[in-house]
Amino acid sequence: MPDGLTLNKIIAQKGISIGEAARRVADLGWTPSYVQEAMTFPTDYKISKAPKDPMKQVLRSYFPMQEEKDNRVYGALDAALRGDMFRNVEPRWVEWMKLFLAIIPFPEISAARSMAMVGRLAPGDDLRTGFTMQMVDEFRHSTIQMNLKKWYMENYIDPAGFDITEAAFGKCYATSIGRQFGEAFVTGDAITAANIYLTVVAETAFTNTLFVAMPSEAARNGDYALPTVFLSVQSDESRHIGNGHSLLMSILNNPDNHQLLERDLKYAFWQNHAIVDAAIGTIIEYGTTNRDKNKESYAELWHRWIFEDYYRTYMLPLEKYGIKIHHDDVHEAFDRIVKKNYVHKVAQFFSAGWWANFWRIEAMTERDFEWFEHKYPGWYDEFGAWWENYAKLSKPGNPPITFVDTGYVYPHRCWSNLVPCLIREDIVVDEVDGEIFTYGHEVDRWTHKVAFQGEYQGRPTPAMGRFSGHREWESMYHGWDLADAIKDMGFVRPDGKTLIAQPHLSFEEKDMWTLDHVRGYEIKSPLITLRGMTPEQRDAHIAEYKKGFKVHKI
Amino acid sequence: MTAQVQEPEVKSGAAGAKKFPGWDSRKYNYFEPKGRKATHYEDMTVDVQPDPERYLLQDWIISFADGTPTYSKDWTKLKSSDWHKFRAPDQEWERTHYQRQSTIVGMIKNVVDNARKSGAPARFDPRWVKILQDHLGAYKHAEYGLGKATMQAQRYGYTQMINNAILTNSSYKLRFSQDLTLYLSEIGMDLPVFDATAGKTHWMEDPIWQGVREATEAVMGATDYLEQYFATNVVFEPLVAELFRSGFIMQMAAAQNDFATPAVVSAAEADYEQNLANSVELFHLLAQDPEHGEANRQVMEGWLEKHGTLCVKAANQLQPVWSQPRVKVAQFNDALAAASNRLKAICAEIGIEVPAALTATTANDTQPAAEA
């Protein structure tokens, strides 16, 4: 065979270039003249410039590529079983997957639905293939995650909690926080939801902590399945980031949009921080048994992925287009993680209400304390006694820790992001439409009272969404007995009495709490209680709340 | 003397390492499977889109400005006493969808590569080449329009099962519109004369295609997502799409020395069988709904009349295309009769009547159009 001649060269035939193929595919679109497409999902943005497709990929190369990625994922899952992964996996880690994987398939499929919204609004057809691939990608993510969850259920020592997963998603206070995330992709102003909140902020910034940082921690805990699935999922995200950026550039093109863009970047960044950092920060820091002091803490990961990578290289350059970026919010979010112990307070809250969970949380131990103190100096002073108490009260026969006088004050809940107002000094109370609400931070108050309204800074915003539903979980069970509420949620094992949640990882039946162990304690809604106070009582209560608390050893 | 051997406690996170309450609860237990056991598709799909009437304790927590929640039953005129009953017969979840799509892409690639390697396009009858250029080139836009319409529709369904079935439908249509675009572009490179832009001109301007474009735009412009899904699979596909794909391209091509185009187009026929099965299952359930069946049948019959009228007009306007190939091995009247029968068979399965006006229009319009 002559030099340089290969089989590929012999059989190759002239084809069209990728750019030309993408151009011809984009030319499939036309402007209807018989019947106009209705703008069924409203937006207050004006988009006249057609977004360009940065990826220039066509579906005939997309599907085989995705099938190949799938083959690797499913092959790896088979290999994990053959390698007896579950014999060495850390239950502390897998328990948190009951929460995480109950939440994430809904935001994923919501992202698929949101492609309908941007697909209809974006002028031209250049980006339609990008939207199509993202729609099918998100269908992939949602169902591949349901598959992973089923796989854990079938192979992990304690399947309870996985078995009720989508029912639990509907009932749990913690999954509602995730639902705020998913519903925000598809409801209200279509560009606010499907472009800014979903692609420009959630996918471009926060999927790095969700789908890159978290899998690394999974691997450290003997779980090779989560990295396999989620790094494959993350490999799809670059397409979505490209879609989001391309549409953002079309929006930026019209200065009339800048005011709304500033509003939405502020809202979306803050709420993504509040929700994703609460969940993923807790899972990474508290779901692990690996206490290697050389690995990055969540605060360090956040600084790398969100501050350096996203804020500095994606958000800041938007200023040259005349967009006001709220630097103070970004710095404040970082301070909340580093200085105000946001993640630790969320973990403390999840453990305070362990009985309302559908996964187990075990107590932190001396080994954990040492690592936390190393990474977050001062941690032991604030949280050490809490976890020691938690360990002490973890066996049935004790009262649930929530109802023991440890000094802990059950928190109010933020009406905007549904995470409780855990940084006590930052709580804000305000009135909207004649009703009292509590917020975790001033930006959360602004989100509800200013951003999610029909007018913004004197400009009509008729497309903007509204907060609705029973946003405070505790108000659903105000005055209920703990045991009745747990039963109502269905967070009970098949024997009809043993709780799914346990404040430990013992698999001995004698160590497991039942409904009888939690009967006789009453749930109270902080919001209903607050609304029942006189203005003076309320002021005094909030002033006291802002002072915070000190947990003492019992 | 017997030695006491104490077994060290095995620390394992594997299933069965310990027995305790719930240790063997290894199935999703929150929904009623359609059959005796839940299928993998059901496990992947059911209840991922929640419902306040099932488990959504705190209700939807964001609404549109007018108070409409994140998902609403009011987004279609059809009503159901149990929206959660529907299961897609094709049972697609991500893995099966990619496997199927990828297999089709591979099949088309092999056919087109081999045809081009053997110089097949140059042996196509020249008149047939012009037909592919102008008419298959025009038709690809209809597929694209339906792909866009179903992409829009998959946002609105009340359950995950409905929305995912519409989503895969959209994925199939959009892939096929691209298959045709790229296929025509590639064979065009092997032909001395081939204008890859002619198809769009015919789509926009040629009177033969204006009925099809109008019918397509009517589907794209419908604001009821189930009307879009119904009009696509129950009306447009049998009366226009299959008529052209199967009744013309697939039957005529071989006689024009073309073995490649039918293979490319056959993918859409198989796609449609899946999409049709899903649609018939859903609309049958709604037509037989114990509370709303009667009203639903009236709504569907209204859609049938509206889109059927447009599609019959579109089909008749296509008739001259059957006269264009040099070797005429298929007749328009036969193809239209097959399309009409197909529509009747689909509607019979769903349990709705084909409106008399539509049947009459089909019969009456056939003859004058054939003489045109």
ipTM above threshold 0.90: yes
| DSSP per residue, B156-222 | T-SSHHHHHHHHHHHHHHHHHHHHHHHHHHHHHHTSSS--TTHHHHHHHH-HHHHHHHHHHHHHHH-
CA distance A35 to A12: 44
Query: If residue A18 lies in a helix (H) or strand (E), which one and from where to where?
Result: helix A18-26
Residue B2, pLDDT score: 53
What is the second-level CATH architecture of the domain B93-371?
Answer: Orthogonal Bundle (1.10)
CA distance A228 to A236: 13
What is the second-level CATH architecture of the domain A59-475?
Answer: Orthogonal Bundle (1.10)
Residue A445, pLDDT score: 98
Residue A23, pLDDT score: 94
Nearest to B95 among A32, A70, A497 (CB): A70
**Token couple for A214:** 């978290």
Rounded to the nearest integer, the mean pLDDT of chain A is: 95
pLDDT at B7 over 80: no
Residue A136, pLDDT score: 97
Contacts of A115 in chain B (CB under 8 A): 151
Please state the rounded mean pLDDT for residues A37-59.
89
* Contact call for A143 and B147, based on CB within 8 A: no
CA distance A417 to B61: 11
Domain ranges of chain A: 59-475
CB atoms within 10 A of CB B46: 24
Residue B6, pLDDT score: 57
Residue B369, pLDDT score: 38
pLDDT at A454 over 80: yes
Nearest to A146 among B43, B65, B147 (CB): B43
The pLDDT tens digits for A266-304 are: 999 999 999 999 999 999 999 999 999 999 999 999 999
- For residue A85, the chain B residue with the least C-alpha distance is B14
pLDDT at B359 over 70: no
Rounded to the nearest integer, the mean pLDDT of chain B is: 94
CA distance B10 to A84: 14
Residue B363, pLDDT score: 44
**Structural contact between residues A134 and B170, judged by C-beta atoms closer than 8 angstroms:** no
Q: Which residue has the tokens 């949380």?
A: A361
CA distance A273 to A330: 9
Give me the torsion for CA of B80, B84, B89, B95, rounded to 10°.
140
| Partners of B94 in the β-ladder | none
* Contact call for B113 and A13, based on CB within 8 A: yes
Please indicate whether residue B274 or residue B10 has the higher confidence score (pLDDT): B274
The pLDDT tens digits for B314-323 are: 999 999 999 9
| DSSP per residue, A39-89 | --S--S----SPPP-SS---HHHHHHHHHHHHHHHHHHHHHHHHTTHHHH-
Close Cβ partners of A41 (under 8 Å, ≥ 6 residues apart): A116, A117, A120, A121, A190, B155
Query: If residue B251 lies in a helix (H) or strand (E), which one and from where to where?
Result: helix B251-252
Contacts of B221 in chain A (CB under 8 A): 32, 35-38
Q: By the CB < 8 Å criterion, does A347 face chain B?
A: no
* Contact call for A16 and B186, based on CB within 8 A: yes
pLDDT at B370 over 50: no
Please state the rounded mean pLDDT for residues A125-153.
96
Contacts of A129 in chain B (CB under 8 A): 174, 178
Which residue of A137, A158, A437, A478 is the best one to mutate when testing the B interface, meaning the one whose CB has the most B CBs within 10 A? A158
pLDDT at A35 over 70: yes
CA distance A102 to A96: 10
pLDDT band (50, 70, 90) for residue B362: low
